[in-house]
């Protein structure tokens, strides 16, 4: 058995070694035992059920919530010479019939299916007539109300263990806090399940959070160094995806917007063009991404703060799947948190669920304004504990400068008190900075003693300071009174007892690539002309077969080929991502192309 799984990894997938706990998980499944796999996006969860499916008799049933995701996996498997199919509402009657015939004759090794389809008609009964090797429940967090993407139809999947107690079930997800992990095991009725938590740390992603001022300018600055690099900008509203894309386009950037209101055809077009490197930047709502397996996304920007850390980490995890350096920037502001609070408060969820959502939002905000290692903050959230700082987040690379914040805090508090605790953040800053805005004059705030005392600090700096005062409890934000600022028991201690207040200095952001992770593969000998020829060939092949380009051969493999210039089959097999099936199909052509080029 042991030998088989190595051979399959090499021959079918073209990889020379297992990652993290893949091998342990595969062996566990082969012993017919249940397991829960928590592995970050891009970590390599699929192999954990695909290899057991290939080395055993029978068919592996993979439950997956998204059609696009299923189709991609099936095309990728077919290109590797594996017999895989998908069953969902978009498959024609004829094709469905053929799939049933193939299932009966036992030729299909992996069957992807949506939960709706699985639970419809007599399918469960029909499955009991087949030889099934394994059930894999992908995106398993959808089964739990504690998760960030609860789907009621997932709950009914507990029928699998009831009807097929002997068949092992593998539940997989990239996003489950500790409570959700326990709930998945309970909901799916997994037996003595072992939980495998892989490290969530993505060492190739440099993580950064910035106050959300002049976001477009900051983004344009950033893109001026990254004109070729594909990336995603996540926005909170459909409207802002459109306006941000418009601003980028008017600055000559190849950008598009994507949200749930677009026609299905338009959405899949954008997705395909992005996957094939024909669109550089997609400005999107969170509707974009679940189905995307594009390995060379170099950066992900959150134009607004997301509503929880699960979503945030999932979204930045789409960057750098090829293991090469990537960047994640989070913009955050009080405006975001107020909007998100309003969504929750005005939503029609139960009080209980609103509490869960509010607690998750609070954690997100703490993360955004954290002064210590951000990576460790997220890892702790997902149940992984590590004390050494990561070295690839902004707080590690450029630690905050601490300042004595007593005077600043006294100024802010005095402004709040003199304005009768009837003032929000923006107006308070205007008051402190002595602004001549209409509202200030109308409300007579220019007559207050505090008017203009904080002129020395720019608006952005004030926002940064006051945010920290709120986080440390010296000021309170009253969500039940139009988010106005109020004093707290700690306020008095600053005003009358001169207690210590430590704040951090406002940071300027680096826009160059100093301090970013190094490239993982040696491309110092990269032949750029050859690379572009290889890409041209690969892209036309992808068009012909109507699959995303990276499924044919990914960029990392092409870069390696264009650097190491393999001259025969075995050297080509040494490239990560080239397996036996790909060698058979494209090997001759690639070697010829290299020889001609020389």
Residues of this chain that interact with Zn ion (CB under 5 A) are 373, 375, 389-390, 393, 396
Nearer to Mg ion, 318 or 484 (CB): 318
User: 3-state DSSP call for residue 480?
Assistant: coil
| Closest separation in Å from C-beta 39 to Zn ion | 21
Stretch that binds Mg ion, among 38-46, 315-323, 442-450, 515-523 (CB under 5 A): 38-46
Q: Check residue 84 for interaction with ligand ADP (CB under 6 A).
A: no
| Closest separation in Å from C-beta 151 to ligand ADP | 18
- Contact assessment for residue 36 and residue 185, using Cβ atoms and an 8 Å cutoff: yes
Distance CA 274, CA 369 (A): 32
Q: Check residue 405 for interaction with ligand ADP (CB under 6 A).
A: no
How many CB atoms within 10 Å of residue 256? 22
Helix 374-381, helix 309-316: angle, nearest 10? 120
| Closest separation in Å from C-beta 45 to ligand ADP | 3
Q: Check residue 275 for interaction with ligand ADP (CB under 6 A).
A: no
User: 3-state DSSP call for residue 199?
Assistant: coil
Q: Check residue 573 for interaction with ligand ADP (CB under 6 A).
A: no
Distance CA 387, CA 560 (A): 35
| Closest separation in Å from C-beta 374 to Zn ion | 6
Cβ neighbors of 28 (< 8 A, separation 6 or more) are: 35, 194, 196
Q: Check residue 41 for interaction with ligand ADP (CB under 6 A).
A: yes
Q: Check residue 293 for interaction with ligand ADP (CB under 6 A).
A: yes
Nearer to Zn ion, 210 or 484 (CB): 210
Given the structure tokens 């207040």, which residue do they identify?
501
Distance CA 119, CA 138 (A): 16
Nearer to ligand ADP, 409 or 560 (CB): 560
The residue among 8, 97, 105, 104 whose CA lies nearest residue 48 is 8
118 binds, among Mg ion, ligand ADP, Zn ion, none (CB under 5 to 8 A by kind): none
Number of residues near ligand ADP (by CB under 6 A): 17
**The tokens of 76 are what?**
């990728």
Distance CA 137, CA 158 (A): 11
Given the structure tokens 């107020």, which residue do they identify?
338
394 binds, among Mg ion, ligand ADP, Zn ion, none (CB under 5 to 8 A by kind): none
Which of 2, 19, 32, 186 binds ligand ADP (CB under 6 A)? It is 19
Range list of H helices, 80-134: 93-105, 115-119, 123-127
Contact characters 394-413, Mg ion, x per CB under 5 A: --------------------
| Closest separation in Å from C-beta 138 to Mg ion | 6
Q: Per CB under 5 A, which of residues 42..61 are in contact with Mg ion? A: 45
Q: Check residue 42 for interaction with ligand ADP (CB under 6 A).
A: yes
**The tokens of 434 are what?**
């002595």
302 binds, among ligand ADP, Mg ion, Zn ion, none (CB under 5 to 8 A by kind): none
**The tokens of 170 are what?**
């593998």
Which of 12, 34, 43, 181 binds ligand ADP (CB under 6 A)? It is 43
Stretch that binds ligand ADP, among 39-47, 101-109, 220-228, 368-376 (CB under 6 A): 39-47
| Closest separation in Å from C-beta 14 to ligand ADP | 8
393 binds, among Zn ion, ligand ADP, Mg ion, none (CB under 5 to 8 A by kind): Zn ion
**The tokens of 206 are what?**
């440099």
**The tokens of 454 are what?**
């904080």
| Closest separation in Å from C-beta 45 to Mg ion | 5
The residue among 574, 368, 356, 341 whose CA lies nearest residue 471 is 368
Nearer to Mg ion, 45 or 109 (CB): 45
Q: Check residue 53 for interaction with ligand ADP (CB under 6 A).
A: no
How far does Cα 429 stand from its chain's mean position?
Answer: 34
Q: What dihedral angle (degrees, nearest 10) is formed by the CA atoms of 373, 374, 379, 382?
A: 140
| Closest separation in Å from C-beta 76 to Mg ion | 11
Stretch that binds ligand ADP, among 41-49, 87-95, 384-392, 496-504 (CB under 6 A): 41-49
Nearer to ligand ADP, 140 or 270 (CB): 140
Q: Check residue 225 for interaction with ligand ADP (CB under 6 A).
A: no
| Closest separation in Å from C-beta 379 to Zn ion | 10
| Closest separation in Å from C-beta 312 to Mg ion | 18
Q: Mind spelling out the 3-state secondary structure of 230-249?
A: CEEEECCCHHHHHHHHHHHH
Stretch that binds ligand ADP, among 35-43, 488-496, 578-586, 590-598 (CB under 6 A): 35-43
Stretch that binds Mg ion, among 2-10, 37-45, 480-488, 514-522 (CB under 5 A): 37-45
| Closest separation in Å from C-beta 148 to Zn ion | 23
User: 3-state DSSP call for residue 82?
Assistant: coil
| Closest separation in Å from C-beta 35 to ligand ADP | 14
The residue among 272, 318, 276 whose CA lies nearest residue 297 is 318
Distance CA 172, CA 187 (A): 14
Contact characters 359-398, ligand ADP, x per CB under 6 A: ----------------------------------------
Q: Check residue 45 for interaction with ligand ADP (CB under 6 A).
A: yes
Given the structure tokens 């709706």, which residue do they identify?
116
Point out which residues pair with 206 in neighbouring strands: 327
Q: Check residue 46 for interaction with ligand ADP (CB under 6 A).
A: yes
DSSP 8-state assignment for residue 510: P
How many CB atoms within 10 Å of residue 558? 24
User: 3-state DSSP call for residue 282?
Assistant: strand
Distance CA 289, CA 232 (A): 9
Distance CA 570, CA 577 (A): 13
Nearer to ligand ADP, 9 or 337 (CB): 9
| Closest separation in Å from C-beta 444 to ligand ADP | 58
- For the chain, helix (H) and strand (E) counts, in that order, are 29, 17
Q: Residues interacting with Mg ion, by CB under 5 A?
A: 45
Positions that interact with ligand ADP (CB under 6 A): 15, 18-19, 22, 39, 41-47, 174, 293, 295, 321, 576
């Amino acid at each position: 058995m042991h030998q088989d799984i190595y051979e399959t990894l090499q021959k079918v997938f073209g990889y020379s070694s297992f990652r993290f706990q893949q091998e342990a998980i595969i062996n566990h499944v082969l012993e017919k035992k249940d397991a829960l796999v928590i592995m970050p996006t891009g970590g390599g969860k699929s192999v954990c059920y695909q290899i057991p499916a290939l080395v055993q008799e029978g068919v592996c049933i993979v439950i997956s919530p998204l059609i696009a995701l299923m189709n991609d996996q099936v095309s990728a498997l077919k290109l590797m010479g594996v017999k895989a199919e998908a069953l969902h509402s978009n498959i024609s009657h004829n094709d469905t019939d053929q799939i049933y015939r193939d299932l009966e004759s036992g030729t299909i090794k992996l069957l992807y299916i949506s939960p709706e389809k699985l639970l419809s008609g007599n399918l469960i009964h029909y499955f009991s007539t087949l030889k099934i090797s394994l059930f894999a429940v992908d995106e398993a967090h959808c089964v739990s109300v504690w998760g960030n993407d609860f789907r009621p139809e997932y709950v009914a999947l507990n029928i699998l263990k009831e009807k097929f107690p002997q068949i092992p079930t593998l539940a997989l997800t990239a996003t489950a806090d500790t409570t959700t992990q326990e709930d998945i095991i309970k909901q799916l009725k997994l037996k003595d399940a072992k939980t495998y938590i892989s490290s969530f740390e993505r060492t190739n992603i440099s993580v950064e959070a910035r106050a959300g001022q002049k976001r477009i300018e900051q983004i344009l600055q950033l893109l001026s160094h990254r004109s070729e690099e594909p990336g995603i900008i996540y926005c909170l509203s459909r409207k802002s995806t459109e306006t941000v894309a418009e601003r980028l386009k008017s600055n000559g950037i190849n950008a598009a917007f994507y949200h749930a209101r677009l026609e299905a055809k338009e959405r899949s077009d954008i997705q395909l063009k992005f996957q094939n490197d024909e669109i550089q930047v997609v400005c999107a709502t969170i509707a974009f991404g679940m189905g995307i397996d594009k390995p060379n996304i170099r950066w992900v920007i959150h134009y607004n703060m997301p509503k929880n850390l699960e979503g945030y980490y999932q979204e930045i995890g789409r960057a750098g799947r090829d293991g090469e350096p990537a960047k994640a920037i989070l913009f955050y502001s009080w405006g975001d948190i107020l909007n998100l609070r309003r969504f929750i408060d005005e939503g029609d969820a139960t009080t209980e669920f609103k509490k869960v959502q509010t607690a998750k939002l609070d954690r997100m905000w703490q993360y955004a304004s954290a002064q210590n290692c951000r990576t460790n903050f997220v890892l702790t959230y997902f149940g992984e504990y590590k004390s050494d700082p990561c070295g690839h987040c902004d707080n590690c690379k450029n630690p905050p400068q601490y300042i004595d914040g007593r005077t600043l805090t006294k100024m802010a508090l005095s402004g709040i008190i003199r304005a009768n605790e009837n003032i929000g953040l923006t107006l308070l800053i205007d008051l402190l900075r002595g602004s001549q805005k209409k509202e200030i004059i109308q409300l007579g705030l220019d007559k207050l003693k505090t008017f203009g005392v904080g002129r020395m600090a720019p608006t952005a700096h004030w926002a940064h300071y006051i945010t920290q005062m709120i986080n440390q409890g010296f000021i309170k934000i009253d969500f039940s009174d139009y988010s106005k600022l109020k004093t707290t028991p700690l306020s008095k201690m600053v005003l009358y007892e001169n207690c210590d207040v430590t704040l951090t200095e406002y940071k300027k952001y680096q826009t160059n690539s100093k301090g970013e992770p190094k490239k993982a593969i040696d491309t110092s000998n990269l032949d750029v002309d050859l690379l572009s020829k290889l890409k041209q060939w690969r892209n036309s092949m992808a068009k012909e077969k109507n699959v995303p380009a990276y499924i044919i051969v990914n960029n990392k493999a092409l870069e390696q080929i264009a650097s190491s210039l393999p001259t025969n089959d075995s050297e080509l097999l040494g490239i990560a991502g080239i397996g036996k099936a790909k060698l058979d199909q494209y090997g001759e052509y690639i070697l010829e192309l290299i020889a001609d080029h020389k």
